[in-house]
Structure 1
Amino acid sequence: MQLKVSYEDGPDGITVVRIEGDGERCVLDAASAPALRSVLLEAIGRGRLLLVVDLGAVDVEKAGLSVLLGGLKRVRRQGGTLALAGTSQRMREILAATRLDQFFGLFDTAANAVVELAADYAETSIEQRRAALADRANHIVPSGGHSYEHVSDHVTVVTVVGELDVYTAPSLRELLVELASHGRVFLVLDMTAVDYLDSTGFGVVVGGLKRVRAYDGGMALVVPQERIAKVFRITGLTKVFPIFDTADPAVECLGREASGVHG
């Protein structure tokens, strides 16, 4: 089924992308998704960084979701955003299951999305958000494939990337030891980008908790992936680690704990 992808640039800096077909409800799949990718890349190339994709006439399969996620990443790196309008119940369930509903703005209609985005970006502009992203990047220190950021006087967020196994876990262990030795003992371990966790990686995480507790510190985990969170539930360690879907509440939790200790 042939899909037609069109767009309309609004005077408020928001571009609405619409997807239509010749049937009652079309599918954005591997065959049709490239047309959407081309339109998104063209819009972003013209500096249109506030995008609303109207999905009211289509169902979305994996390839289509991948294109939408790719567009979201591109605009967010530049201070913009990509919102979805008219998503089906099935699509919302997929987004919720993959935790992507925390990143996409979801709206009933494109008109509602435009109103909300216009108000949001009138309060904090693209330029301000881009500057904030650049400032944050300047404070993130890479270390052995991972990175860390001191987000407050006491709390450090460690971002773990890729597979955490017998080959890669030692670099994380070294980083945790180094941070603890410098008095950074309230750690948020952000495992959002972890693809795989084996027993060695699991042992390093548990060992990190023991190390910071020896200094009266604490550790919280960010684990949005169900398959990895399940490991902590099965082993009963959800009673030991505070576990969150996103970093902000984890930082807030450890911040309260650190304040109590240092107070």
Structure 2
Amino acid sequence: MQLKVAYEDGPDGITVVRIEGDECVLDAASAPALRSVLLEAIGRGRLLLVVDMSAVVSVDRAGLGVLVGGLKRVRGQGGVLGLAGTNQQMREILATTRLDQVFGLYETAANAVVEIAADYAETSIEQRRADLVDRANHIVPSGGHSYEHVSDQVTVVTVVGDVDVYTAPYLRELLVELVNHGRVYLVLDMTTVDYLDSTGFGVVVSGLKRVRAHDGRMALVVPDERIRKIFRTTGLIKVFHLFDTVEPAVEFLGREASGVHG
């Protein structure tokens, strides 16, 4: 069905996007209507967005893709996209996909507006955008991936897209280069990895062996349940340290590095 999507720009810089109707389904057929409104709002510089999901009874992969796409666009410019009024089924889907740790979830749109306004009163969009630019200046791209030395010992490698027989060699070269330069405490952030085949999995395993050979450690950030399942079915979930987000993975390796070198 075609969704009816309305929006309201608030004076506090927050735009509330409302999906209207009875028992709406956000799927491949209806999600483009929401995408159109989100893109239009972002194009007008509205980077603080709340999507009121109270009329939505279910959402599929395409619907989630539109929401994630909107979040990435505003986050890249220092903004935020929160979800309000999600029902129990929606919250379960978000929890299963680990997206409940990515989106801000609010009971109502009014609650979301209050909390986001308070949050951005402390740190503005401009400040957050400047932080992103500064962070980008310290990230070195390599073969489509990138890495950042977040401390004297810990390096975060951001792995992007499919890691398969065609692309895995780029990741292998990057890991070899880092280890050869003494970076043996590695966090592999696989948040944006869409697909991991046996070749890509082999590169990750060989990376772990390589850092261990130099008394190092590796931690993986794997929020996607499909990819996490690979580590469970192979039994290697007992070998790798898996995390849902980057921060605890960095903290873990920081402690490991201190324990070894202290």
Q: Same fold per TM (> 0.5)? A: yes
If the TM-score is normalised by the length of the shorter chain, which range does it land in? over 0.9
Tell me the equivalent position of 2:5: 5
CA distance in 2, matches of 1:227, 1:162: 14
C-alpha displacement of 1:253: 0.3
Matched letter for residue 253 of structure 1: F
Return the alpha-carbon distance in structure 2 between the equivalents of residues 47 and 168 of structure 1.
Answer: 35
Cross-structure match for 2:102: 103
Please, which of 32, 37, 40 is the counterpart of residue 42 of structure 1? Answer: 40
Moved over 6 A (4+): none
Gaps of at least 5 residues in structure 1 are none
Task: Calculate the aligned-residue CA RMSD, in Å.
Answer: 1.8
The 8 Å contact of residues 2 and 29 in structure 2, kept in 1 or not, is answered as: no
Q: Cα distance, 1:45 vs. partner?
A: 1.9
Equivalent-residue separation in structure 1 for 2:14 and 2:149 (angstroms): 34
Task: Say whether the 8 Å CA contact 2:2–2:33 is kept in structure 1.
Answer: no
The worse-fitting range, judged by mean Cα deviation, of 193-202 and 81-90 is: 193-202
Q: Residue 151 of structure 1 corresponds to which residue in structure 2?
A: 150
Q: Secondary structure at the match of 2:240?
A: coil
What's the TM-score once normalised by structure 1's chain length?
A: 0.92
Q: CA deviation at 1:217?
A: 1.0
Aligned position for 2:125: 126
SS at match of 1:12: coil
Q: 1:207 to 1:73 in 2, by over 3 A?
A: same
**Which residue of 2 is the match for residue 201 of structure 1?**
200
Q: How many residues align?
A: 261
Q: Counterpart of 1:161?
A: 160
Q: Which residue of 1 aligns with 2:241?
A: 242
Summarize the alignment of residues 205-220 of structure 1 with structure 2, pairs less than 5 Å apart.
Answer: 205-220=204-219
Give the letter aligned to residue 69 of structure 2.
G
1:60 Cα offset (Å)? 4.1
Percent identical residues: 83
Q: Matched residue of 1:184: which SS?
A: coil
Give the match for residue 92 of structure 2. 93
Give the number of the structure whose alpha-carbon radius of gyration is greater.
1
Cα distance in 1, alignment partners of residues 37 and 197 from structure 2 = 41
Corresponding residue number in structure 1 for 2:50: 52
Q: Report deviation, 1:140.
A: 1.3
What CA deviation, in whole Å up to 9, does each residue of 1:122-167 have, x standing for no partner? Answer: 1111111111111111111111222111111110011222232333
Q: Point out where structure 2 has 5 or more consecutive residues left out of the alignment.
A: none
Distance, in Å, in 1 between the alignment partners of 2:153 and 2:69 is 34
SS where residue 46 of structure 2 aligns?
coil
Task: Decide whether aligned partners of structure 1 residues 181 and 126 sit closer, same or farther in structure 2, where only a CA change above 3 A counts.
Answer: same
**2:185 matched residue in structure 1:** 186
**Cα distance change of structure 1 residues 36 and 226 upon mapping to structure 2, 3 Å threshold:** closer
3-state SS of 2:166 partner: coil
